[in-house]
Amino acid sequence: MAEQARLIDIYIMGRRCQVPEGLTILTALEYSGYRMVRGCGCRAGFCGACATIFNFLHDPQLRYDLACQKTVEPDMCLVQIPYFPARKATYDLEKTKADAEKIKTLYPDIVKCFGCNTCTKTCPQELEVMWFMTDALRGDIKAVAEKSFDCVMCGLCAARCPQGLVPYNVALLCRRLYGRYLSPNSAHLDQRIAEIESGKFDAEIEELKKADKKTLRQKYTGRDIEPAHDQAWE
């Protein structure tokens, strides 16, 4: 007979719930009867949709994590923030220069950063947020793009910044600028784009569009890229 998981007390929006030990925050919410329509995305730590603030019943210090990654603990008190109203600049990437002045024009508050490092301490990805904000202030777009590469845009850094800065949106701007103007061109990508534009794959695509499910399954399972999983077709 399988051993039953130990139940622990957690608090969701002030409501006491008992859930099995070992669940993630997200699965604990669902176990407790919450139907997650928002605040749940990829469930693998990549999308940042499930940003969650929590503390403990007798410990008021706020903590931050992604609900799909963090395991529940006894007396954990949960509040999800699937959306944080942080400012996001509007710009046309094709008309935006890749330099420090443009970053400061779009996000002028960046100069208010006084190095408290709260953003870094808050980041569930453990990124050096304050340091890439310093790079952005200097106009080192490449450094920002590299240091913020694993950012999942959860918004927790902005939610906690005492100066109201939006590090994740600054980082997104820099990654876009780097990709558009500063990163070296990929010869393989250029070649594939040229092939697509020349119509090289048009006939094959039309054949796939007309194929039945059985034929598509055979082509999928017969490919060389990776092992096939039937679940992809369910």
Q: Which domains does the chain have, with CATH numbers?
A: 7-80 (3.10.20.30), 93-182 (1.10.1060.10), 197-233 (no CATH)
Question: What own/partner pairs with CB < 8 Å and gap ≥ 24 does 39-42 have?
Answer: 39/67, 39/80, 39/82, 40/67, 40/68, 42/68
C-beta atoms surrounding 63 within 10 Å:
15
Identity at 152, one-letter amino acid code: V
CB 175 within 8 A of CB 148: yes
Distance CA 75, CA 51 (A): 19
Q: For residue 82, give the amino acid letter.
A: P
Q: What is the pTM of this model?
A: 0.67
Q: What is the pLDDT of residue 226?
A: 56
Low-confidence ranges of the chain (pLDDT < 50): 1, 228-234
DSSP state of 94: G
Give the pairing type, strands 51-56 and 59-66. Answer: antiparallel
CB 34: neighbour CB atoms within 10 A? 18
